[in-house]
Amino acid sequence: MYSPRSDTWAPFMRMGARRLQFGVAVMQNKLVVAGGRDGLKTLNTVECFDLTSLSWSTLAPMNTHRHGLGVAVLGDAPNSPIYAVGGHDGWIYLNSVERWDACTRTWTLVAPMAGARSTCGVAALGGRLYAAGGRDGGACLRSVECYDPATNHWTPCAPMTRRRGGVSVCAAGGYLYALGGHEAPANAAGGRLACIERYDPATDSWLLLARLSCARDAIGSCLLGDRIVAVGGYDGVQYLCIVEIYDPETNTWKKLSPLGAGRAGAAVVAIPPPRNVF
């Protein structure tokens, strides 16, 4: 847990058995944690952490086991649906997508993406869901798809300027931001990116922006106020403690206090006031 007021990190709460490549979303002051791996197998289980009572509960499992999935809430209403996008089921890369309905407390499969992608960046913007980059088993991807819940259909968007597997995507100020990632095959050395780029849905175009302090993939990111926080990552040698914050107005990065331990693929969310933590 990070406190912006004191610029400090502190231990907060333990999770269950899942360890990596899970997805998270905040819904009705609850933190929903879906999928991932427990070190041995890919999970379809879903946990919910109540930020008021500070207690864990279990939700219905997803239809598909997924790690490397993207998770996002689509809408601003209290019962807005959560989407679980793509990933890997332990055997194959996935193009399937499912939606959590808070009223019926069930997961339902919706239209699949055109292509399979794991470790892609997923974010909601303007009432639509975007999936960018990732890996399909053969290559890291530049491609981007957009889901319209009204038509239950995915459409292609302009591709990113770089291939980005293990990319982190964050929505801010009417734009999408793609942070870091890697453009080489998983078994190749190097290929990690420090550059970030911004997508404008009005012009369907991407623009390269200020670089991160070092090249890395598997960054955790979220919007904190009107700025984007980038947490941890992997530089090809070690899991990183680096935490940086981006100001869209000045197109600059500034370092914050580092994590207590290196993390790659951390799922990061901002909790609204009065807690003011993420």
46/27 Cα distance (integer angstroms): 13
Instruction: Decide if pLDDT at 257 tops 90.
Output: yes
Residue 181 within a domain: yes
Range of the domain at 162: 2-255
pLDDT, tens only, 173-207: 999 999 999 998 765 667 999 999 999 999 999 99
Q: Model's pTM, two decimal places?
A: 0.94
Percent of the chain with pLDDT over 90: 82
112/87 Cα distance (integer angstroms): 12
Instruction: Decide if pLDDT at 98 tops 80.
Output: yes
Instruction: Decide if pLDDT at 72 tops 60.
Output: yes
Q: Which CATH number covers residue 163?
A: 2.120.10.80
Residue 264 within a domain: no
pLDDT, tens only, 221-242: 999 999 999 999 999 999 999 9
- pLDDT score for 27: 86
Residue 277 within a domain: no
Name the token pair of 247.
């100001």
Residue 270 within a domain: no
114/178 Cα distance (integer angstroms): 20
Instruction: Decide if pLDDT at 161 tops 80.
Output: yes
- pLDDT score for 277: 46
User: Do the Cβ atoms of 137 and 119 come closer than 8 Å?
Assistant: no
User: Domains in the chain: how many in total?
Assistant: 1
pLDDT, tens only, 44-55: 999 999 988 989
